[in-house]
Amino acid sequence: EVQLVESGGGLVKPGGSLRLSCAASGFTFSGYTMNWVRQAPGKGLEWVSSISSSSSFIYYADSMKGRFTISRDNAKNSLYLQMSSLRAEDTAVYYCAREVSYSSSYYFDYWGQGTLVTVSS
């Protein structure tokens, strides 16, 4: 059974930093591109970042560039998101999601339960 379990969320002050983790199991982690997607309270889904299976290709949403860093450790079956210079508008539930790509089709077939990040003084 595919499982994605996020951790590392919490309360952080504006300007602070936080590192999120996602532990994967039930599939060959090293064979998949992984993503972070967030959802602010009462709002819609917003894609954050993606990292290819070997970390060769990394992409960020424009509003996260320069502040967030995605990484992975295939030996530990883990995905990470290092967040810095956090702002109130970064307050959200952060989901880890597995990407499937096939013939120009890209989508997320499994999602974690999410971890809440609250940026507040």
What is the DSSP code (8-state) at residue 99?
Answer: E
* Shortest reach from residue 34's CB to other proteins, in Å: 12
| CB-based burial, 40-68: b 16+ in 10 Å, e otherwise | eeeeeeeebbbbebeeeeeebeeebeeeb
Among 30, 54, 66, 109, binds other proteins (CB under 8 A): 109
Question: Using CB under 8 A, which of 53, 59, 71, 82 touches other proteins?
Answer: 59
Q: How far is CA 43 from the centre of its chain?
A: 17
Interface positions, 11-40, toward other proteins (CB under 8 A): 35, 37
Binding flag, residue 112, other proteins (CB under 8 A): yes
* Cα Rg of the chain, angstroms: 14
- Beta strand 68-73 with 58-60 is unpaired
Q: Which two tokens stand for residue 121?
A: 């003084």
Shortest separation between residue 108's beta carbon and other proteins, angstroms: 6
**Which of residues 5, 47, 53, 91 is near other proteins by CB under 8 A?**
47
- Positions that interact with other proteins (CB under 8 A): 35, 37, 44-47, 50, 57, 59, 61-62, 95, 100, 102, 104-109, 111-114
